[in-house]
Structure 1
Amino acid sequence: MTPRCCALTVLTCLSLISPLSFAATGTGGAAPAKTHNYPTEGRVEYVLGCMDDNGHDFANVYKCSCAIDKIAQVLTYDDYVEQSTFSKYATLGGEGGAEFRVDRAKAQTKKYRDLQKDAYKACGIQQKSAAK
């Protein structure tokens, strides 16, 4: 399956999740939980990355979608991009990685990894190994 095909499949699945989840919760007229508006592309990139790390089975589409929803409840999209970038490049070596090893970057990395760990736990994702 090509990456484009996978992305289209995930987009299709993501469009189905909200109505199905809403119907399953039985919340009817209850106000939805506060969440920040993330662009679809950002959510899809997260889900695909999460599935790369945790397996490409169909259940992980839902679990990884759940995780980004949990993160979106806490962080604005700009904060998410900043923290996830710091986390992704925290182990980048050499002079180019120096920006990602300053105290502020380390604090942002820790916040993001803690938030992601909590989201994984809440959504039933078994984290294979913790990144240091």
Structure 2
Amino acid sequence: MSINPIKPVQPEGTAAGLLAAADAGQPQWWQQLAQLGTPLIEPAGNSEVKMNYFWRDPTGTAQQSAIVRVYIDINGITDHHSRTPQSLQRLAGTDIWYWSTTVDARWRGSYSLIPIDASQLPPAFSADDNLASQQQREW
């Protein structure tokens, strides 16, 4: 497989190893991740790569933070019109939020990470599709 990404491809399992590390979320862990670069890219077979996204909660762990969700909007990959947008997940007991997806190795695009607190969660959408669409636009 010949991959020529802008960022270097890390060995398969690098992200999983980082997330399982005893020092996950500690300053030295974040320094190591910064040196590797994000999103962290791993081979995924054929002409695909696994993109691993990370976000550091500046206020700490779930017990310390008001952040309840970190949405990710990736150009051409995630559906920003969805009523249930893609979200990162928090690594329990840490300030780490993460999510991975597989894309074509030639994909190039932009992404946004959108941390929100409970007051910014989507509403309970109506069963009526027209009303739900209106609720979504307002949200």
TM-score between the two structures when normalised by the length of structure 2: 0.26
Structure exhibiting the larger radius of gyration computed from Cα positions: 2
Compare the two structures and name the one with the higher strand fraction.
2
Compare the two structures and name the one with the higher helix fraction.
1
TM-score between the two structures when normalised by the length of structure 1: 0.26
